[in-house]
């Protein structure tokens, strides 16, 4: 931290008055981290970077005052929910302030019915609490991350892409899956903007670089009684084909379809007695779809080995073994493990899966997630590997791409270099209008607001990606 920034932070702290703030080194160290250590490349570069002050506004008025003071003193801001991202989104590259949003947790309103039901809540609302409150009135979130029990609504919107429910409803970016955002600009007199419609991509999955999200408006689905089920297979491609058939079965309401290769599933220790050494498809289906699922499993040669009400097995929902949790389970046993993120699309996604599994399955066993993108069923693949160096990542990426697979780069914190989000002139213009001093999470847009001396991430690694 420069002397000038140190002085600016000190002046800011003096001006905050009764707004809760904290400079405890241990708390700063925790609040300045997310799950970037999923990547050994990011772990080597981001370990030790911290903010100088944590500010925890108790309401939106205090949040706006904090933004105004940060603008006046030119202090960088990193907005943070619970820090469950995996790309270094919540790491303060330029120091300054961590703005903790978790006290902004008010349910603003719930309204409508059926397909017209919606909810509006503050950004710091915990997703598990929000979903539980909605279920009391017969509604639920369409989708949520596998970290639902430890994530906030605003964090999911600012850093998320898809999740549990995307097999039915598509990804967050698909039209209609986010309805509106209340955003505050970072100026001496912050402005309040209502972001809707075609403007939503300027803020969604933008790592909080375009202002502070205060409220989020989301559509809802009818709450259903969900079952956590596991179907096992002797052959991975049989598991993948069953997963595709289940994901395609429009008559079976579902929230999760995740085929996981045996070398990865063996790290699910609580489920070992059910899975054994087999390849497994972890799924969530509505209770009334159980009979149809069993028939489908029989057709594909699978064995239904696990069937519980959601969260009914040792109080842990099955989705906490899928999405990012699959990589986490492997890393808990193999600290040097890391991952790639792939998308299998086009005329024959399962043929792409087969080719990758056949050629690279021994080194990079696959974890698949079925999801819809713009109405098209696609397969997200997350190969988990024992990391040997960046040249391994480059070699695997080139190998996958040679088979027609698109690959994102989860080893960079640069927003556009990961391949899951594009940046155009309109978005850069919006960034500069909403954050004229470049204070919001600086350093996350390559070539636009890079922080002098910051390590850079592995943005140089190739990423064909699937941004649109």
Average pLDDT of span 28-50: 95
Nearest to 114 by CA among 222, 219, 253, 217: 222
Q: What does the DSSP 8-state code read for residue 453? A: T
Place of tokens 């057709």: 299
Type and span of the H or E element at 316: none
Sign of the CA dihedral with 361 first, then 362, 363, and 369 last: positive
Q: What is the pTM of this model?
A: 0.95
Nearest to 214 by CA among 56, 319, 141, 105: 105
CB 178 within 8 A of CB 204: yes
* β-strands 212-222, 107-111 pairing: unpaired
Measured in degrees and rounded to the nearest 5, phi and psi for residue 350 equal -70, -30
Query: CA–CA distance from 244 to each of 73, 348, 368 (Å)?
Result: 54, 11, 10
- All residues at 6 or more sequence positions from 106 whose CB lies less than 8 Å from its CB, including other chains: 121, 122, 125
CB 410 within 8 A of CB 284: no
* pLDDT value, residue 468: 47
Q: What are 59-63's contacts with CB under 8 Å, separation 24+? A: 59/103, 59/104, 60/104, 60/122, 60/214, 62/19, 63/99, 63/101, 63/104, 63/184, 63/212, 63/214
Average pLDDT of span 179-192: 98
pLDDT of 22 higher than 80: yes
Tokens representing residue 75 in the block: 């202090």
- What is the distance of C-alpha 291 from the center of its chain? 32
**Which residues make beta-bridge pairs with 376?**
373
Laid out side by side, the sheet with 226-233 consists of: 254-260, 279-286, 226-233, 303-309
Domains recognised in the chain with CATH numbers: 107-222 (3.30.465.10), 226-408 (3.40.462.40)
Asked which of 22-31, 103-112, 415-424 is least confident by mean pLDDT, the reply is: 415-424
pLDDT tens-digit series, residues 420-468: 667 788 888 999 999 999 999 999 988 888 888 777 666 677 777 765 4
pLDDT tens-digit series, residues 238-289: 999 999 999 999 999 999 999 999 999 999 999 999 999 999 999 999 999 9
Tokens representing residue 124 in the block: 């710091």
Asked which of 1-5, 70-74, 196-200, 294-298 is least confident by mean pLDDT, the reply is: 1-5
Query: CA–CA distance from 113 to each of 139, 225, 255, 456 (Å)?
Result: 9, 18, 20, 47
Tokens representing residue 37 in the block: 């250590």
Count the Cβ atoms, other than its own, within 10 Å of residue 301: 14
* β-strands 341-344, 376-381 pairing: antiparallel
Nearest to 98 by CA among 440, 448, 414: 440
């Amino acid at each position: 931290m420069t002397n000038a920034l140190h002085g600016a932070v000190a002046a800011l702290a003096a001006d905050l008055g009764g707004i809760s703030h904290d400079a405890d080194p241990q708390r700063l160290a925790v609040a300045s981290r997310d799950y970037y250590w999923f990547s050994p490349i990011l772990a080597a570069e981001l370990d030790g970077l911290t903010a100088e002050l944590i500010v925890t506004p108790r309401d939106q008025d205090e949040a706006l005052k904090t933004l105004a003071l940060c603008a006046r003193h030119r202090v960088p801001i990193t907005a943070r929910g619970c820090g469950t991202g995996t790309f270094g989104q919540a790491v303060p590259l330029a120091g300054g302030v961590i703005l903790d949003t978790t006290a902004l947790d008010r349910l603003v309103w719930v309204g409508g019915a059926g397909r017209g039901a919606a909810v509006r809540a503050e950004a710091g609302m915990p997703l598990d609490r929000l979903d539980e409150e909605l279920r009391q009135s017969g509604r639920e979130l369409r989708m949520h991350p596998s970290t639902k029990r430890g994530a906030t609504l605003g964090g999911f919107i600012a850093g998320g892409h898809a999740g549990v429910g995307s097999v039915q409803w598509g990804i967050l970016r698909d039209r209609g899956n986010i309805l509106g955002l209340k955003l505050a600009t970072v100026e001496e007199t912050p402005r309040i903007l209502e972001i809707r419609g075609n403007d939503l991509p300027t803020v969604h999955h933008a790592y909080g670089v375009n202002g502070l999200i205060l409220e989020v408006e989301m559509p809802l689905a009818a709450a259903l009684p969900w079952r956590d089920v596991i179907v096992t297979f002797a052959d991975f491609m049989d598991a993948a084909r069953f997963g595709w058939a289940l994901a395609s079965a429009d008559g079976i309401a579902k929230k999760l379809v995740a085929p996981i290769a045996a070398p990865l599933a063996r790290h699910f220790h609580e489920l070992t007695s059910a899975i054994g050494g087999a390849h497994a498809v972890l799924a969530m289906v509505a209770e009334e779809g159980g009979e149809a699922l069993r028939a489908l499993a029989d057709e594909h040669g699978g064995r239904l080995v696990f069937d519980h009400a959601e969260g009914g097995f040792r109080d842990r929902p099955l989705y906490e073994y899928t999405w990012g949790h699959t990589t986490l389970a492997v890393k808990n046993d193999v600290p040097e493990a890391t991952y790639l993120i792939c998308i299998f699309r086009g005329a024959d996604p399962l043929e792409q899966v087969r080719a990758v599994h056949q050629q690279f399955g021994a080194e990079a066993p696959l974890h698949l997630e079925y999801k819809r993108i713009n109405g098209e069923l696609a397969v997200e693949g997350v190969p988990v590997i024992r990391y040997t160096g960046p040249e391994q990542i480059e070699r695997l990426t080139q190998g996958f791409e040679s088979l027609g697979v698109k690959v994102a780069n989860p080893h960079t914190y640069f927003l556009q270099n990961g391949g899951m989000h594009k940046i155009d002139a309109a978005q850069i213009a919006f960034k500069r209008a909403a954050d004229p001093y470049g204070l919001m999470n600086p350093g996350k847009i390559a070539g636009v607001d890079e922080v002098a001396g910051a390590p850079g991430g592995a943005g140089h690694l190739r990423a064909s990606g699937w941004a649109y």
